[in-house]
Structure 1
Amino acid sequence: MLLVFYDEPMLDFYPFAPFKLSADESCALALRIAKSGEGQALRMSSLPLTGNDGEQPVQLPAFIRFLSDPQAQLTLKTPQHSWRWEKMLNQHSSRGKLHG
């Protein structure tokens, strides 16, 4: 599966509320995701922990750093819940695989 996320700032002539996100720069990410095969095995889960780590354009750089750095997990909080991403050590896991 190919997952593509793209966002850019609103043009000045649009009313900002409620469409204004927390970033003033464009951002994009494309990932190829598979159930098995080569690549980093990942697990994503939802947690009841709430907070505000910003909208998706603000969270995206943190997610990219997580993918490229050795850190084992990343938790991103939203007002409703949190998302936790974990890198799985076992490359033969049945979890989703991220291909670069």
Structure 2
Amino acid sequence: LVSLADATGVIVLDWIKLADDGSSDLIVRLYEAAGGNATATLRLDAALSDAKAGVREVNLMEEPELDAELPRALAGDEPMPADGAVVSLAPFQLATLRIRR
């Protein structure tokens, strides 16, 4: 369903699941595993890559409120097209992404 392309550094796609709120949104958890900076491009399977699929970073509770002191994996606070979104992680950073379908 979701993959990472053009990766530099070590980004682990830990899991993909449905959002806890009962929507059809997907939650993707990623982390940097080697203690360095890492980037990758988010790629969606054809079943998800319609024009409506958008992604935004959320907290561990799948809510949009993020701690202002923590680094962000996605540029900006607004949802962006999911397919082709660039993810940037700091050393050992954990990121939770919500893909709206």
Q: TM-score, structure 2 length as denominator?
A: 0.30
* Structure richer in helix, relative to its length: 1
* Structure richer in strand, relative to its length: 2
Query: Which structure has the greater CA radius of gyration?
Result: 1
Q: TM-score, structure 1 length as denominator?
A: 0.30
